[in-house]
Amino acid sequence: MAAGRRSSSQNDASAAAAAAGTGVQNSRDEEMAEAVEDEKDSPPESPTKRGTEEKVWIMRFPKKVKRLARSRSTRAAMRIQRAKRKREDPDEDENAETDEVLQGMAHTSMECSEIGDERPLSGFALSPDGFLLATSSWSGHTKLWEVPAVKKTVVLKGHTERVTGVAFHPQSCKNLSSSAGNIATGSADCKAMLWSLEGTRLRSFEGHLKRLARVASHPAGLYLGTASFDKTWRLWNINTGTELLLQEGHSRSVYGIAFQKDGSLAASCGLDALARVWYLRTGRSILALEGHVKSV
């Protein structure tokens, strides 16, 4: 009985070994078939030149490995580029900005070109009728140009520092006399000034502690708004030069100021990445627009 059991166990072991050998042989056959297939798809080896000791070694990889490596390297390069752009400017989307500019310029053609000043230009404004252009410059001068002839007519001189903003009166070149206050300018000398179309300085607005950024005319034509690096924006009466409002609310410099068409609201933006909406009757900030990560 014992001998029968040993014989049976030996037969089982032999069958298992045979099955294992068959599996290993099949696996080897499959590997050899894949290698032969890859070798067919791969370019032939360069023959070694006779009489020289130079040899060329070629590494062959399966097609799947090649495709995987190529796709991974491409995605890695794109990811690195996006990370660099985001580090330099989190708001930047280079492709989207390029597409937007190209779409906007598709139906645009240049009518004329003119040198505006010896120093860089800092701003411009078109008159309400569209036939007069005002340009401000770092030289401290503001120039008026006829449009579309682009002919210089008047140079406004009075600021001692660079001019940072310029704005037309809402009725300029329409119902307002050319000798009245048609143009307002702001400067890094902490002053805003009111000018006639003839180049006469009519009034100065003083009170800001640091340089001015942008200026804006109120739709009613009676007030002037100024934004400053002293973290405030102010509202002035253009007829008397009186300061009507001094608004605080930004934690850093205020860069821009604008009015709603009906004149009841004002909007300001600053280097604190924040924009605020103000109700002029009470002087209160009624809305804070948050979301930017850099200066507005």
Looking at per-residue confidence, does 47 or 194 come out higher?
A: 194
| Amino acid (1-letter code) at residue 263 | G
Q: Output 120-124 pairs: Cβ under 8 A, ≥24 positions apart.
A: 122/162, 122/163, 122/164, 122/165, 123/163, 123/164, 123/165, 123/166, 123/214, 124/166
Q: Name which residue leads in pLDDT, 42 or 221.
A: 221
Q: Are 202 and 194 in contact (CB under 8 A)?
A: yes
Task: Read off the pLDDT band of 24 (50, 70, 90).
Answer: very low
- Contacting residues for 140 by C-beta, under 8 A, at least 6 apart: 157, 159, 160, 161, 162, 163, 187
User: Where are the chain's structural domains?
Assistant: 31-37+59-86, 121-289
Distance CA 82, CA 78 (A): 6
Q: What is the pLDDT of residue 12?
A: 54
Tens of pLDDT along 132-151? Answer: 999 999 999 999 999 888 88
The token duo for 118 is 């010896």
**Which one is the CATH code of 121-289: 1.10.10.10, 3.40.50.970, 2.60.40.10, 2.130.10.10?**
2.130.10.10
User: What is the band of 120 on the pLDDT scale with cuts at 50, 70, 90?
Assistant: very high
Q: Is the pLDDT of residue 212 over 70?
A: yes
Q: List the one residue out of 279, 231, 242, 240 whose CA is nearest residue 259.
A: 279
Q: Are 175 and 189 in contact (CB under 8 A)?
A: no
Determine if the pTM surpasses 0.75. Answer: no
> Measuring CA to CA, which residue among 199, 201, 191, 205 is closest to residue 162?
191
Burial label for 159, CB within 10 Å (0-12, 13-18, 19+), is: buried
